[in-house]
Every structure is written in C-alpha cells, then in structure tokens.
Structure 1
Amino acid sequence: MFAHAWHVLMASTASPLAVVPLLVKPLQQPATADAPDSDARTGDVVVTARRRSERAQEVPIALSVIGGDEIEKTGAFNVNRLQQQQPSLQFYSSNPRNSAINIRGLGAPFGLTNDGIEQGVGFYVDGVYIGRIGASTFDFVDVAQVEVLRGPQGTLYGKNTTAGAINITTRPPSFTPEARVELSGGNYHFVQGKASVSGPLTDKLALRLSTSATTRRGTVYDVTSDERLHRQSNLGIRGQALWQPTDTLDLTLSGDFNVQNPLCCVQYYARTGATQRPIARQYAALAAAFGYAPPSTDPFDRVIDLDASINSRQEIGGAALVANWDLGPATLTSVSAWRYWDWQPQNDRDFIGLPITTVSQNPSQQKQVSQEVRLASKGRNTLDYTVGAFFFHQTIDTQGSQVQGPAASRFLLSGADASNPNVLNGLTSTNTISFDNSSFAVFGKLNWALTDRLHVQPGVRVNYDKKSGFYESIVSIRNSQYDFVATADNVAALLAARPVGAARTTFQNQINTLAPQRYSPEFSDWNMSCDFTVSYDLTADVHGYATYAKSFKSGGINLSGLPLNATSTGVDLATQTVKPEKVDHFEIGLKTQFFDRRVTVNAAAFWTEIGDYQATVNNNAINVIRGYLANADKVRSRGFEFDSSFRPSRRFSVYLSGAYTDATYRKFTNAPCPPELSGGSATAPGGVTDPVGTAGGRSPSFCDISGQRLPGISKWSFSYGAEYNLSVGGAGGQVYLGYDGNYRSRFSSNPSPSAYTWIDGYSLSNVRAGYRKDSLNVFGWVRNAFDRQYFELLSTQSGSTGLIVGQPGDPRTYGLTISKSF
C-alpha cells in the first residue's frame, strides 16, 4: 500500500513516458480511495495523485516513468543501463564510490568523489532517500517502476535536490498468492536469475520475498593476473511484510541486502597527447626509459597489465517501516529507515603495468537514518495540500591509503630527484576521514483550482543542514635512503631541519606528493526553497504549464585533502568549505494527445542558472592525484526536451524522445587547466604562457573556462524504439519483434574541456524477438547489436605525462530470457 501512497504524493507531477507510455496501475489500493483505471489501447498513465483517478497528462512537471516489464525486456537492470532510455539522464562511474547521477547536466561535480557535499539528484527506493550515489549501483530487484523527475524537487517530499530525482518503486506484498521466475543466459557466461513470491499469512498480513543473482565473465583481460575484469557478480535479496490491522491503517516493514564484487572499473591506455612538460618527462620518453609498452594500444582489444591488486566489493542493505493512516479528509504517511553501505576497494591508480602509484584506495562505511512524515489531502477540494517534515542523519568513515612505487620518482618529479627511485619509493599516506551530516526540513505544497481549467501550485521548503568532518593524513617512507614519519604537527620542524640544498628539495618533493595534514571543517546553514507553477487545460487533451523554482544545494566541506599553503608546511584552510549552490529554475511545458489519444507529443523548455556551482579543481601540482572542491561563480543549463509515442493499434507501437542540453560555465575564471596546458613551469596569474602542448613551456596556475561546456553533457541525446507483434495459435499467443536505440552526441570527459578527452558521439542498438502468452514470455536479445566501440569515461594519468586512459563501454552481448508468472 505504501507504493500506492507514494504515487498519491509523487505521480501528481507525472508527464508522459520517455519510452512507450506504460500501463501504470497503483500497486495497492487504500481502503477508501477511488480505484483508478487505465486505457490499454492508448497507454494512458493513470495515477491517484490526490486520492482520485487522474491522467498523468494533466499534471504539470517533467516526469518519465519506466515500468518493471519495460525494464526487464530492455535489460535496464541498474541505473547505468537506465540512462540509455532517458535522454536527460547521465550516469558516470569510474567505480561504485566514484559515481554520479546528473539530470540536464546538473547534480554532482565531475571527477573523484568528495564525501563532504550533497548530491543534486535524489535517489529513492520505496520513498527512502539513499544518501550516496555509490549505494545506488545495485541490481534492480522486483521493481514495479522507475520514475525520473527533472528539475528542482523538495517541496513535496524527502531531501532537497536541485537537479531532479529518481524514485524506484518495488512490487508490494499481495494478498493474492503469486510467484514470478525469470532466467537469462548469454555470452560471456552471463547467467541471471530473478524470483519473487508473495501471498497472505493471514487476512491482515502478507509477505513478499524477492531475489536477483547475476554473474558474467569479465570483458577485460588482465595479462598479469590472468583474470577477467569488469565482470558481474551480484546478489540481491529483499523482503517485505504488509500488515493491515484496520481498514484505515497499513504498515509495511521491508529489508534488503545486496553484495557485489565486479572486479571492475579499470581504465587503461586510450591515447597520448602533448603537455607542457619537457619532452623527456612525457609518457613516450618515460615508458621508453623503463623499456615499457602496454599489451595493446588499442583499448578495444580490452587487454591490460595491472601490477597492483584490484577489488571493488560493496555491500548495501537496510530496513524501512512505512505507515499510511487514512484520516478521512487526508492521509498521514510515515517513512522511517536505516541503511548502510560498505565499500572495499583496491586499485592500480597509475593505470599501467609500471609501479608508479601502487595503492590508492578509500575503503568507506556509510550509515544513515531518516524519518519523513507527510500529511496529504485527498484531492476532492478546490484547495488541496501536502505538508511534511524530513530528518536525515548520515555518518561516513573512510580509511584512505596511497603508496608510491619505484617508478613514481621518474613519472611525478623533475630535476635530480626524478632519477632517484628512492625519493618516492615506498612513500605512504595513511588517511583517516570522518563525516557527520544532519539535515532537517519542513515543506508544503498547495494545489489551488482557480477555475476548472486554471490551477496554481505554490510550494515552500525550509531546510537546515549541519556538516562536520575530520581529515588527517600521516605520511611516511622507509627505504635504503629515507626514513621519516611526517604529521601535521611535525612537518614544519622536519622542513626546518633541512634549511637548504638537496635535502630540503627532496623533502619538499616528498611532502608535496603526499601531504601530511589535519583539519576539522564544519558547515551549517539555513535556507529556503520555493516553487510556483501555473497550469492551464486548453482542452481535454492539451495542457500547458509554467514553473519557477528557487532552490539551494547545501554548502559542503572538503574531505579529500586541501592544497598546501605557500610554505608547504600546512594547508590552505580557506578552502576547507564550499558555499551553497543557489539555483534559479524556469520551465514551460506542453502536453498533448491526438487521434483518440493514440499519439502523445509532450515538450518542455528549461533555463537553470546556478550561482556558486560546486566544482572539482586542483592546484596544478603535477604530482597531486586528487583535487578538491571550490565554487565556480556561475553555471547555466538550458535546453528543451520532448517525449512522443504513437500506438496505431495493439500490434504496433513506436516512441521517440530527445533532449537538447546547453550546459556551460558562465563564469569560472580560476578553473583547473586542461592536460595540454599542464606540467610546465608555473607562471603568475595572468602571466605569459606558451601555446598548448609546448614541451618545456610555461603553464598558467589556473585557467578561465567561462563559456565552455560542462563535462559529461551531450548537446543532443535521443532514445527511440518500436515493437510489432502478431497473433499466433488463436489463444492469446503473440510473436513479437522489438528495437530500442539511443544516441548521444560528443561530450567532454574532463572538468576543463580538453582536446584529448572529448568522447565521440555514439549510438547503441538493442533488439529482441520472442513469444509470449498469458504469463509466459520467451525472447532472445542482442544488446549493442552493432558492437559499437565507445568510451564511458576518459581520464588523465597523474603527473601530466600526456597519457589518456579510458573505460570502454560493454561490447555486443546476446542471450535468451524466459519468464513466467504464477
């Protein structure tokens, strides 16, 4: 019943689907609600937004819905796959912890994860907010539908989010016995099994148990370990109990456990490009000095030679209690939850088979508790409302470590120290990082019908956030030449003991590479968000709306280390916090249906400006791996989207969705420079620099990238597809053929656009063909049917060597799926 109550709150803002419009029915009816209906011929989405049946076409916000059946047949069994069906959605992941979800180009800064900031796209499972995107990378288990909301959220539910939200609803317990089984097999030894069973224990208590297990051989071969990496090894279990002690009260207790270890997310040789370092300090010369060559210079050979251990195990789980109490004119909903995430990585951070950075990892443990209470009127009045309160508390503990190997000196340093392996060999940083985050908010939204056609919907949210953290890095080295332990307390004394000469230069090179530091940042602030929507029904099938939203993303704290001060004896404490983002969002939309609602065409245009955008930067030190957070003055994302579908008959359906997104830095004058301008001798701000790629040239301390495109954003993206079926056997059986495709134009894969890290546009095609009858479905599928070679990410190797490494997307896969419901 909670799943239905969530729709009461959320689906009132639905728009037509970004895929073929689906039949979305409420999963469990409240005792006093009017039952909604759906038209299978037109594919209308019917929701119970105000405890009455409403067509999703009539409610004013950009929202796409993908049903569970659509997810299963297209193979979109996780968030990464989901983006192929949602043109406005972007998902990036160099590993599960370093993952980000963006909508319309906004949400999280591109680059390595920094625990101390909020995510701009909220992620929810059955109404429970997931505090880390890394904890969202599980396989979908028994999913009923996925909703993708675009634009600022927070006046109706949950956490304040400035770019949008993804809400996953699972199938609830049923008082009618049922079971579902699905089994898939394919190339790369792919095997996936899903099963669920549900039914009553008494006339007031029902259970549902669901599980999913996936295995697949890796697509990348490591010649050193003789292992296949980028595999799939996932297990998920979920249980729910629904208790309805009275006709007006229901409670759902749920718990889930997920474990994954894909040995994933390696990046390796993609290409090289010239930087400002001396020619002898660039990748080709450095590799030649060690007599090194990668096993292949074609990344789509999918062959690597790691010289360090790799691991990417994560464990995700939690429990939630959801209560719905029908009070007559309104419904009171409570969502209480506890969740955890345990991340256990190992990485080869230099990406090649040389011992440069042999360890760079941040095992992390997150725990969170949340409580939400909402009161929503049933929607039978001229003035309807939703009011609520939300509390969230999160802790993260991280145990970081980084170790340099015998090749690090030559790759990361210059001068005489570059020729001495012992300068950096064994240099180790041990980091202790903690984060405490509390958030509290009250929110409300009205729906006021001024006339039968004209509605105004104001909303407001008052939010308080408090963040505190601790970061300490202890640096040590012990080899035949060097032996010391440097902390934030003794680094100045150790440097003073080396007042001049080579010893001082060497020690500075060591502590600049891995800096001893300790700091305890704090941030707290109140903010108020608001939105105002006006909607008008031009006809029964043509609806327009306009929205303005003023939103905030909480300020944050830097928890990946800070840049050093001018004397290299301490950190620049002015950089330990970042200011909140301030968002002004404008949107207009039109929703239309024609030809007896067989054709749906919806469009929206948006303009979003963000002040003090939270971005990842660095101080251009060539031997520093991680950057830190800072504020860009202004960012703008603008564009338009459309969703369209056509169902001329029960036999044939076709859809096309698209987005144009122009997301740029409007003012960012102190940004990190692209790799082609890095690695040279430093110049003062505004000083003379040499042309890009000038070996031994001068590099600016930072760059002005105002007007350039944000990373990860394609200007054009589309999803499209069709399905055709024929009756066979005369008893409801069908054979069918389906196609789903998507296209993304080229996008930048570096925080500052670089000629070396543009990812070319690509299109992917998935096909399926099968037979279905009643609850039986048997179909074969091919994904990436034309074996398109493309990158998901490109990155630079630390040290400004000019090496560009990449993470290729999946090759062509194919297989067979059989599913049956009982």
Structure 2
Amino acid sequence: MIARFLLLASVAGAPFIASSAQAQDAPPATEASGDRGDGNIVVTARRRVEQLQDVPLAVSVLNAQTIEQTGSYNVTRLQQLQPSLQFFSTNPRNSSINIRGIGAPLGLTNDGIEQGVGIYVDQVYYNRVAAATLDFVDIQQIEVLRGPQGTLYGKNTTAGAINITTKAPSFTLEGKAEISVGNLGFKQGKASISGPLSDTLAIRLGVAATSRNGTIYNVATDDHVNGQDFLGIRGALLWKATDNLDITLSGDFNLQNPNCCAQIYAGYGPTQRATNRQYPALSAAQGYSVPSTNPYDRLTDLDATLNARNELGGASLRAEWDLGAGTLTSITAWRYWAWDPSNDRDFTGLPITTKSQNPTRQTQWTQELRYAQTGDTIDFVAGLFGFHQKLHTTGSQVQGPAASAWLLNPTNALSQNPAVLDGLTADNDIRFKNSSAAAFGQLTWHVTDRLDIQPGVRINYDKKTGEYNSVVTGTASDGTRQLVLFSGPYASDPWIVAQRGVLPPQYFKTSFSDWNLSYGLTASYKVSDVVMAYATYSKAFKSGGINLNGVPLDSAGVPQLSVANVKPETVDHYEIGLKTQFWDRKATLNLTGFWTDIQDYQAIVNNGQNAVLRGYLANAGKVRTRGAEADFSIRPSERVNAYTSASYTEATYRTFTNAPCPPELSGGSSSPPTCDISGQLLPGVSKWSLSYGVEFNVPTPLFGGDGEFYIGWDGSYRSKFSSNASRSIYMDVKGYALNNLRLGFRNDDGLNIYGWVRNIFDKDYMELLATTPGNTGLIAGQPGDPRTYGLTIKAGF
C-alpha cells in the first residue's frame, strides 16, 4: 500500500517541488488556529461564513496547518487539542465520541442507537462512528461545536458536532506533497493537486496513506499487533454552471486493514464469584500464565486471529444557488460501510473463544435542502433533512477446547470434558432499518446594532425496525451436532444445558417510532467591538433505540422484550459565554459555562452471562453534566504564538437506581442484582482537561528564499476517569499528561521540513480498561502509544 502511494506521491509531487509560489504555513494554535494574522477566524458553524468571535456558540477551530504539524491526523489525536472532546476505541466499530461527557455510552457499540455527536464532512452526515477512526484526507478546517446543534444541522445531535471541511477544487493550479517517516516503521504520505479543466470546471484529487508497526508484541504469533494501515482517496469536481450556481460532485474511498485489535492483561480485581471460578484459579488449573503482568511491557499471547478491516466510502452532489437575497443549498449523498473484524474475546492465550466476529454492511442515503438568507435586520436558515440507513450483520462466535474448564463451574463434572463446549457455535444474523425526516430552522433578529435574539426549532420523526437472530449449534452427549434450544428432544441433555448457559439462542423482532420537537433560544450582546456575551437555552431529544446486541432471557429462554426498545433522551441545556479580544486583537479569551440535564439517559448495561459480555441498552434515569471552559490564544508578534484551552466537566448520574453492579460487587450467590449508582461519575469523563502549545520562529533566508526556523511545543493533560459503566475500584484510569516537540524550517516557496517527537517523556498511560467475559476478575487494558519520533518533508506550489 505504501509503495503504491509513494509512486502516486512522486508523480504528483514533482511539479510541487519545482514550483515557487505558496503562502507560508501559519503557526498552529487551537481556538485561534484559523487566525490569518489579524485575529479573525472564519467559520461556517451556523451554515454561513462569519467570524468566530461573532458566533454565539462554543466552537473551536483547527486549520490544516495545525492538524498537520501537531500530528492530529485523525480524531484519536484530535482530542489532545480539544479538552472537551473524548474519544475511545477498542476497534473502529466499538468507538465512541463524547463532548462534555455525553454523546454515546462508553463500552460496546449498539447499532440500534443514535450518536449524540454528529460527524459532518463537507456538510454530509456520517452515521458511523467508525468514520472517526480514519485518517483525515485533504482537510481545510475542522470545527468542534459543543452543545445541541439540531436546529442548524441535518441530523439531530444533542451533544455537539464535528464539522470537517475538505479543500475545494481551485481554478488556480496548486498542489502539495508530504512524506513522513518515524520509528515503529511509521510511514505516512499525502498528496493533493487541484486546477482548472476549463473556464467553468475545476478538479481536486487527494490521497493519504499511513502505515506503522503495532505497539504490542504477540509472542504466540511472533508479530506486532495494533498497528496502523490506512489508505484514503478523495476527489471533487466543481462546475460553475452559471454565475450564480455551483455544483460539486465529490467521492471518497477509505480503507483500514491493520493487524488489530488487542487489549492485553492489565490486572486482576477479585469479584464475588467463587474463588475457584476467578482468574487466578482458572488459569492455574490449566497451567496458564500471561507473558507479562506489566501491561507496559506490551506483550500478549492472544491465539485467535485478529483483524479490523474497515472500509468506508461514498459520493455526494452539492448544489449552491445564489438567489440574490439568499443561498439555496441541496446536498444529496450515499455512503457505505463494510466492517470485517476478528477478535480474541477471551483476552487470553487459551483456546476459550477461538472465533469472534460480526462482519457488518451498511448503506445510508441522505438528502438535505437548506435556504440561508442574511439581511440588515433578520438572518435565517431553514431546511429539510431526510435520512435512511440499512444495516446487516452476519457474525459468529465459536468456543474452543479450553472453554469447558474456563466457563463451566469446576464442581460440574462436565468442566473436565473439553468436548462439551469445543465447537459450540453461535451464528448471528442482525438486520436494522432506520429512517428519519426533519424540518429545522434558526432565525437571528438584530434587535439593535449590539443585541441579537436567535430562536431555533426542529421537528423530527424517527422510525427504526430491527431483527436479531442467534442460532446456536453444539455437540450433544451422544456425539451428534444439535441445535441448542430451550425445548425439544435435546433440551434436557446435560451437554446442551451447559451450552445453553454459555451461548443461549434467541430471536426477536421489534420496532420503534416517535416524533419530537426541539427548540432553543440564544441572546447575544456586543458589549464592545471586541467583547460579546451570550446566553442559550435548548430543548433537545436523542432518538429512542433498539437493542441489537441481544437482550436478556428469562428462565424459559424467552427474550425479555420489555428491554428491547429504549426511550428517547430528553435534554435541557443551558449555556452562557463571553468572547473577548484585546491587545489590538493579538489576544483572544473565550469563556463558557454550561449545564445540561438529561432525562432517560441511554446507558449500556450488562446481563452477566458467563461466556459473553452482552451489552444492552437501558434508560438510566437522570444524568447531569455541567462545567466551564476557557480558550486563550495570543500572538504578541510574528515570531511567537501560544494557546491554552481548559475544561472542567462534572458529569454524573443523578438518578440510576437499577444499574449493573461493578465487578467487585458481582458474581456471587448473594450479590445484589442491581446497584444504586446515583451521584457517581459517568464513564470516560475527566473532570479536568487541558491542552497547551507555543511556537517560536526566527527569520532565516535559506535555499534562495525568505524562510524561518521554528520550534514548537504542544501538550495535553486529562485527570483520571472511570472506565466502567458503574464506577469500580479497579477501573479508574489514572490521569496523564502528554507532551510533543517539533523543530523545523519552512519558507515562502512551500517547503517545510521538521522533526517531531510525540509523548516526548515516554509516559506510560492507559487509554481505557475493560472487564472481560465471565466475571473472573481479569481486567484488560489498552496502553497508549509510547514515545514516537520522525521527520516530515512537505513541498507545494
């Protein structure tokens, strides 16, 4: 893949290097990263072009230079620059994005629910969080909007939105190529070229590829896992049909295919299960020990095949018609997602679960029609949005010869017979359809030159249908292969009974539909030309959902359909903000305070089955998240710029009386069936988050043109957070700080050469911790990247 890319890059890059005209890269910053040197940052957060400081929203901006030079080439790294953004992923499918602690529950992904943080690329909604794991291709700017956005954006998003804009086709010939190499076999290449095909037609092509060895060594297979392997291609064709009508046809293809993904031994925490059924006794009984009990040795011995092939792509047609008084925009898009995984779900080197996979195919269609008008007294945006999604998952789980001893009670004689569970197979077929339609609008009334009133409204309809079918096959005591059922001639066969307790079959169909009305009101006042205060109230809804990971069964094996559907979340959001600039606009300080109450919060809980950690949804009563944010940037001269962003977030369950108990209170015969975790922290949320950076440059004529040497430092800090749905004494991830350094030279001809070191102090830290199936007390973890370093060369014209 890298070889193919380098060939493309060399062909595209030759004229780039020979050229001698490109503007100098702007030094990076966060809130001021779009700064063009005059203190102004252009955004499209409200679906029109305006200055960031004029927008009464909590929004942060990253331009292309910031993204490239800080190594933020995907959302995983982006969160190091955005303190209010949390991103967690054990593989592309099991990923979640939160803003201010809400958006999607940390843990197993459930395809039957909506995400609370919307991802938009060139105004097209991406329904899969898996898209967030991809590398950015030919990016112009990223805006992170915090708080409900349903009255401005197509899909209803209750936590915020990530608005990504790629570079548009140009009628001036331009291009760029970039090559990076580093330790761990890191190779990354990017190239783009754009120019006119005629007086009315322009094209742009971009490609990016990344490859890196894994950071974890598998002693069982003698290779490294959790690597990176990405190829992305994006193209756009712009047709200026008339002086007033622009039509853009875009398409993209993205492929990840790394040797991934492994979570390794991170510790043991005793549960209330019988001692002989916990990890130390079970592993000793089979003479098993992990390669290392220190997770930062980065060793594993997983014996099942690992794969995380993640393919996404699509096409869109955007028409923008200037009608004089306003602009009419139509965006038609089709997208697909193909997910081909393979996991080791027992998290050990024993053949307990030899196969675990849920390949998924998804297609989605979206249509948005929007009209925006700006006037002396009234500005407004009004739109219609339609969405349809089809998803089909055909997965399987197969138990191996070590499953009987690991999963069955040692007091049961069958636990000594490997044949009882060896070959036990669950074949899953999951189907889902999701349609929604909405009308939305937002109006800005300029009451005076300083006072604006901004109401917004959205009416939304959602309909979901789902079908879950898990067919289980095992070996009966007479040696024949049989369906594992709760009734029939083999229902009382002791082998079948044991298998049923490990992988129970189930089938159900269910549907959900609902209307809801969202609305909001914002008032903003310009205290002066450089100071604006605003206050917002929003009423928002997150659509109800369907449990597509299976539901608990009663003693007769009947699915508990009472939990098959989940009610919508109801959100009341309050926010105040202050946007200021001073020192002749060389310094910017923006402050935000927020308070969000959520009724019927959608949380993932577990049913405690022995062999499979089956996540299903429940409404968790009431959740509250509140806090404050500050963004400060300063550019005292052309030689220096610096920034810091800080966030304090207190996200707690206010009422959750029937929650799953943490591992230390689970598994015993007298363990409580549920726990009251009201007042506890939501998982995945650090109370304190911080990002910071500074860059210095020195003018240095070199290579025949004006240029500069520069040195930059950026870093981030996150305090500890809970990594379990119900906070556990074993599952808090310790706080950590990461720091990065870059040193390089750039000139006005588009040349930029710099060396970089990330995680410069080689900090050991965990991205997340997870309980493992069976309540054995085994805790798996995902260590963050160690220190990495390398060199990047960019050239352009």
With the shorter chain as reference, the TM-score category is: over 0.9
Q: Return the match for 1:434 from 431, 435, 459.
A: 431
Residue 679 (structure 1) aligned with residue 701 (structure 2):
no
Q: Return the match for 1:588 from 567, 576, 579.
A: 576
Distance between the aligned counterparts of 1:440 and 1:175, measured in 2? 37
Distance between the aligned counterparts of 1:614 and 1:677, measured in 2? 23
8 Å contact 1:710–1:751 — kept in the other structure?
yes
Q: Counterpart of 1:399? A: 394
8 Å contact 2:29–2:66 — kept in the other structure?
no
Q: Return the match for 1:269 from 261, 265, 270.
A: 265
Distance between the aligned counterparts of 2:46 and 2:560, measured in 1? 52
Q: Return the match for 1:659 from 647, 656, 673.
A: 647
Distance between the aligned counterparts of 2:479 and 2:109, measured in 1? 32
State the 1:110 CA deviation: 1.4
Residue 560 (structure 1) aligned with residue 549 (structure 2):
yes
Q: Counterpart of 2:68? A: 72
Distance between the aligned counterparts of 1:410 and 1:580, measured in 2? 42
Residue 348 (structure 1) aligned with residue 369 (structure 2):
no
Q: Return the match for 1:753 from 724, 727, 748.
A: 727
8 Å contact 1:22–1:66 — kept in the other structure?
yes
8 Å contact 1:423–1:482 — kept in the other structure?
no
Residue 768 (structure 1) aligned with residue 742 (structure 2):
yes
Distance between the aligned counterparts of 1:784 and 1:279, measured in 2? 40
Distance of aligned partners of 1:48 and 1:152 in 2 relative to their CA distance in 1, 3 Å threshold: closer
What's the Cα RMSD here? Answer: 1.6
Distance between the aligned counterparts of 1:355 and 1:785, measured in 2? 38
Distance between the aligned counterparts of 2:217 and 2:45, measured in 1? 51
State the 1:168 CA deviation: 0.7
622-631 or 107-116: which moved more? 622-631
Q: Counterpart of 1:811? A: 786
Aligned residues: 765
Q: Counterpart of 1:517? A: 506
Q: Which runs of 5+ in 1 are unaligned?
A: 1-16, 25-37, 682-697
Distance between the aligned counterparts of 1:581 and 1:817, measured in 2? 46
8 Å contact 2:45–2:163 — kept in the other structure?
no
Residue 786 (structure 1) aligned with residue 761 (structure 2):
yes
Distance between the aligned counterparts of 1:753 and 1:517, measured in 2? 30
Q: TM-score, structure 2 length as denominator?
A: 0.94
Residue 460 (structure 1) aligned with residue 432 (structure 2):
no
8 Å contact 1:422–1:482 — kept in the other structure?
no
Tell me, what secondary structure is at the counterpart of 2:601?
strand
Q: Counterpart of 2:8? A: none
Distance between the aligned counterparts of 1:177 and 1:380, measured in 2? 35
Distance between the aligned counterparts of 2:497 and 2:65, measured in 1? 59
Tell me, what secondary structure is at the counterpart of 2:636?
coil
Task: List per-residue Cα deviations over 1:354-410 (Å, max 9, x = no partner).
Answer: 111222211001100100000000x23201111000000001100111111222222
State the 1:508 CA deviation: 3.5
8 Å contact 1:771–1:779 — kept in the other structure?
yes
Task: List per-residue Cα deviations over 1:52-79 (Å, max 9, x = no partner).
Answer: 9743212200000100111000010011
Q: Counterpart of 1:282? A: 278
Q: Return the match for 2:614 from 605, 626, 629.
A: 626
Q: Return the match for 1:385 from 380, 383, 394.
A: 380
8 Å contact 2:45–2:145 — kept in the other structure?
no
State the 1:494 CA deviation: 4.7
Q: Counterpart of 1:687? A: none
Runs of 4+ in 1 over 6 A off after TM superposition: 48-53
Q: Return the match for 2:182 from 186, 209, 222.
A: 186
8 Å contact 1:549–1:585 — kept in the other structure?
yes
1:106-255 mapped onto 2 (5 Å cutoff): 106-255=102-251
Q: Counterpart of 2:774? A: 799
Residue 325 (structure 1) aligned with residue 313 (structure 2):
no
State the 1:479 CA deviation: 7.0
Q: Counterpart of 2:516? A: 527
Distance of aligned partners of 1:297 and 1:647 in 2 relative to their CA distance in 1, 3 Å threshold: same
Tell me, what secondary structure is at the counterpart of 1:135?
helix
8 Å contact 2:607–2:614 — kept in the other structure?
no
State the 1:618 CA deviation: 1.9
Q: Return the match for 1:541 from 530, 550, 566.
A: 530
State the 1:267 CA deviation: 0.4
Distance between the aligned counterparts of 1:549 and 1:344, measured in 2? 39
Tell me, what secondary structure is at the counterpart of 2:181?
strand
Q: Counterpart of 2:445? A: 448
Task: List per-residue Cα deviations over 1:59-106 (Å, max 9, x = no partner).
Answer: 200000100111000010011110000000000101100011000000
8 Å contact 1:529–1:550 — kept in the other structure?
yes
8 Å contact 1:18–1:64 — kept in the other structure?
no
Q: Counterpart of 2:30? A: 19
State the 1:195 CA deviation: 0.3
1:481-496 mapped onto 2 (5 Å cutoff): 483-486=480-483, 491-494=486-489
Q: Counterpart of 1:724? A: 696
Q: Return the match for 2:561 from 567, 573, 579.
A: 573
Letter in 2 for 1:162: T
Distance between the aligned counterparts of 2:272 and 2:354, measured in 1? 25
Distance between the aligned counterparts of 1:264 and 1:793, measured in 2? 16
Distance of aligned partners of 1:110 and 1:61 in 2 relative to their CA distance in 1, 3 Å threshold: same
Tell me, what secondary structure is at the counterpart of 2:332?
strand
8 Å contact 1:177–1:199 — kept in the other structure?
yes
Q: Counterpart of 2:9? A: none
Task: List per-residue Cα deviations over 1:577-609 (Å, max 9, x = no partner).
Answer: 000000000000001111111111111010001
Tell me, what secondary structure is at the counterpart of 1:80?
helix
Q: Return the match for 1:644 from 629, 632, 639.
A: 632
State the 1:154 CA deviation: 1.3
Letter in 1 for 2:390: T
Tell me, what secondary structure is at the counterpart of 1:699?
coil
Letter in 1 for 2:128: R
State the 1:264 CA deviation: 1.7
Task: List per-residue Cα deviations over 1:467-510 (Å, max 9, x = no partner).
Answer: 001110101113775545336xx532357x52xxxx45x53332
Q: Counterpart of 2:594? A: 606
State the 1:797 CA deviation: 1.5
Task: List per-residue Cα deviations over 1:756-783 (Å, max 9, x = no partner).
Answer: 1110000000100000101111000001
State the 1:309 CA deviation: 0.7
8 Å contact 2:475–2:496 — kept in the other structure?
no
Letter in 1 for 2:388: H
216-225 or 402-411: which moved more? 402-411
Q: Return the match for 1:422 from 414, 419, 423.
A: 419
State the 1:157 CA deviation: 2.1
Q: Counterpart of 1:27? A: none
Q: Return the match for 1:61 from 49, 52, 57.
A: 57
Q: Return the match for 2:469 from 457, 469, 472.
A: 472
What is the identity percentage for the equivalent residue pairs of Structure 1 and Structure 2? 60
State the 1:50 CA deviation: 8.7
8 Å contact 1:18–1:86 — kept in the other structure?
no
Letter in 1 for 2:440: F
Tell me, what secondary structure is at the counterpart of 2:130?
helix
Distance between the aligned counterparts of 1:538 and 1:231, measured in 2? 51
8 Å contact 1:726–1:736 — kept in the other structure?
yes
Tell me, what secondary structure is at the counterpart of 2:487?
helix
Q: Counterpart of 1:303? A: 299
8 Å contact 1:272–1:804 — kept in the other structure?
yes
8 Å contact 1:679–1:699 — kept in the other structure?
yes
Tell me, what secondary structure is at the counterpart of 1:84?
coil
Letter in 2 for 1:138: L
